[in-house]
Structure 1
Amino acid sequence: MILTVTPNPSLDRTYEVPELRRGGLLRAEGDRVEPGGKGVNVARAVAAAGGATTAVLPLGGAEGALLARLLDGRGIDVAGVELAGSTRVNVTLVEPDGLLTKVNAPGPSLSPAEAEALIETVRARSADAEWIACCGSLPRGLAPAWYAELVARVHRAGARIALDTSGQALTAALAHRPDVVKPNADELAEAAGRPLRTVGEAVEAARELRARGAGAVLASLGADGQLLVEDGGIYWGHAPVAAVRSDVGAGDASLAGFLAAGGRGPSALAAAVAHGAAAVGLPGSAMPTAADLAPSAVVTTADVPLDRPLTAGRGGGTT
């Protein structure tokens, strides 16, 4: 079972509009609402592929109740921490040509008691988890050191931690040795403090994160594949993608595949690549089912193309 932690989850509401006009009345031609947040997406991906998962998250107001119902309807065990505030709602406007305009709410401010209850819920539910995936930004009320405290406390309970966050929250947590960290190319560059121009430079940045405390680094490089740097070696993987429909949640799907496959070695990297490649071929934030995966199309190798220029963020046909 994979347990996910999402400190700042959301309801993601999408409206399809014929044209975005500032100051005008927009009549939506379609709308949908989905569970949101990086840890929530990991749980959705695990469940979509047939795995067992528990989602720990703060829930508040009618929005939180709806989020819990949506997750339950997807076969996800919900371990909610009740908030005085309301779960945030993010809004996306989609135009006919696919252009997105997004408005992300800041989310509620958690009190010290609510922050402590969230950590204790994770610790209490960790006994049955093979992995705990802690993902996403921190809401108001949680200091950057909150993930560090969570990693330290849950490690004492014997659980393995995968951490997908950035900035000060990532830096603070490294000292407590998360078992896996999962940056994308931009987050890896931010953590290294310099631009990354090649896969080889990404390898060096990942090594630096390991020297600072990360057990392993799984880096999503967008069109340039995925990189795994761990005790057992350095591996690179990629798969062709016929058409990119949406990259929303693709990194979260990759992390779900990696952890579900054991979270170690080239076979887990191959699963991460397969899940990421399938996710970008699906609309919106849809998560791949087992039928969507094409593991035979994945290539993984220890012969890492160190001189390959990084094109992440500029599109491409592989993941």
Structure 2
Amino acid sequence: MIVTVTPNPSVDRALDLDRLEVGEVNRAHTTHVHPGGKGINVARALARHGVAALAVVPTGGPDGTRLTELLAEHGVAAVPVPVAGDTRTNVTLVDADGSTTKVNAPGPRMAEAEVDALLAAVDAQLATGPQAVVAAGSLPAGVGDAFFVRLAALANRHHVPLVLDSSGVPLARAVRAGGLTLVKPNEHELGELVGRELVTVGDVLGAARDVVAQGTRGVLVSLGAHGALLVCRDAPHAWWAGGPPLVPLSTVGAGDATLAGFLAASGPAPDRLRTAVAWGRAAVLLPGTELPGPQDLDLGAVRVVADPDPHLALKEL
């Protein structure tokens, strides 16, 4: 069992358009409604591959009820934590060429007692001894930038690995506090974390090693169309994995699928990275916020390279 924690979940509505015309009336030809939020996407992807996943989520209002219903429809067990505010709705507009425009609502402000209740719900699940806990996404108002630090303390007390996929100050505080098993930034989030622009493979590897030096065991950096890089504290090599160019239908959830693939895989780190990238590549070939199943994967298309050339520009991968 993998437990996911999504402090700011959503009901995601994706609209497929022939072409988005800004400032004009646009008509969608297809709509998709899914339970959303990065941790929820990880749980959904795992469930599609038969990996048991449980989503801990704050829920409020009619969309909170709808979110719980959608999770059940997708085969994801849920622990809803009631809050007074309404669960947010996010909207994604997808052009026929795969260009994606997202509008994310801020989410409800959570009271201190509601934050404590969310952490208590996670604590109860950690006591059951899950394989890992994944904390992912943004934090709504009222939660506080130290939320992931508090969550890490709970995970460490139960000896459960904590995987974090977030950004900004909450990510920086958690990394500085140490004790994380894995973080999964993209190159922009990693650059913000270390305070410098990342242009080359060497830049990304150096930044990832800076994060590891602060007490995180591994860094999985998603590079979008250019694959992913993996740096682990106890490994003698770093690895890159990627494949031939794809024409995406939607990039929504691709990074979450990548993380889910890494968690679901077994074996040596390079094999897990290959699986992770195969899951991410499969996700971009699906419409809206759909996530890949076993039949969508093409592991043979993914190439893994140990210690990639640090002088290569990321766009050359």
- TM-score between the two structures when normalised by the length of structure 1: 0.91
Deviation at 1:247, TM superposition (A): 1.4
Distance 2:137 2:267 in 1: 19
- Aligned with 1:248 (options 252, 260, 267): 252
Against the structure 1 CA distance between its residues 106 and 256, is the aligned structure 2 distance closer, same or farther, given a 3 Å change threshold?
Answer: same
Q: Equivalent residues in 2 for 1:93-242 (5 A)?
A: 93-94=93-94, 100-126=100-126, 127-174=128-175, 175-230=177-232, 231-233=234-236, 234-242=238-246
Deviation at 1:123, TM superposition (A): 1.4
Deviation at 1:93, TM superposition (A): 3.8
**Aligned 8 A contact 2:94 2:250 in 1:** no
**Aligned 8 A contact 1:3 1:56 in 2:** yes
Runs of 5+ unmatched residues, structure 1? none
Q: Equivalent residues in 2 for 1:31-110 (5 A)?
A: 31-94=31-94, 100-110=100-110
**Aligned 8 A contact 2:97 2:248 in 1:** no
Distance 2:266 2:145 in 1: 28
Distance 1:21 1:206 in 2: 38
What SS does the aligned partner of 2:119 have? helix
Moved more, 299-308 or 201-210: 299-308
Against the structure 1 CA distance between its residues 224 and 92, is the aligned structure 2 distance closer, same or farther, given a 3 Å change threshold?
Answer: closer
Distance 2:32 2:266 in 1: 34
1:301 paired with 2:302, answer no
1:260 paired with 2:260, answer no
What SS does the aligned partner of 2:289 have? coil
Distance 2:34 2:221 in 1: 26
Distance 2:267 2:135 in 1: 14
What SS does the aligned partner of 1:69 have? helix
Against the structure 1 CA distance between its residues 45 and 69, is the aligned structure 2 distance closer, same or farther, given a 3 Å change threshold?
Answer: same
Deviation at 1:98, TM superposition (A): 5.3
Against the structure 1 CA distance between its residues 299 and 17, is the aligned structure 2 distance closer, same or farther, given a 3 Å change threshold?
Answer: closer
Against the structure 1 CA distance between its residues 210 and 21, is the aligned structure 2 distance closer, same or farther, given a 3 Å change threshold?
Answer: closer
Deviation at 1:15, TM superposition (A): 3.5
**1:271-305 deviations in whole A, cap 9, x for unaligned?**
11111111112122211101111112222222312
Deviation at 1:31, TM superposition (A): 2.8
Distance 1:8 1:15 in 2: 21
Deviation at 1:139, TM superposition (A): 0.5
**1:125-169 deviations in whole A, cap 9, x for unaligned?**
122410111000101111111111111112111110000011110
**Aligned partner letter, 1:55:** A
Deviation at 1:245, TM superposition (A): 1.9
Deviation at 1:239, TM superposition (A): 2.1
**Aligned 8 A contact 1:227 1:237 in 2:** yes
**Aligned partner letter, 2:33:** V
Deviation at 1:307, TM superposition (A): 1.6
Deviation at 1:14, TM superposition (A): 2.7
**Aligned partner letter, 1:122:** V
Deviation at 1:102, TM superposition (A): 3.2
Moved more, 262-271 or 229-238: 262-271
Deviation at 1:264, TM superposition (A): 6.2
Distance 2:244 2:278 in 1: 10
Runs of 5+ unmatched residues, structure 2? none
Moved more, 116-125 or 99-108: 99-108
Against the structure 1 CA distance between its residues 15 and 222, is the aligned structure 2 distance closer, same or farther, given a 3 Å change threshold?
Answer: closer
Against the structure 1 CA distance between its residues 9 and 301, is the aligned structure 2 distance closer, same or farther, given a 3 Å change threshold?
Answer: same
Distance 1:278 1:97 in 2: 16
What SS does the aligned partner of 1:55 have? strand
What SS does the aligned partner of 2:135 have? strand
Deviation at 1:122, TM superposition (A): 1.0
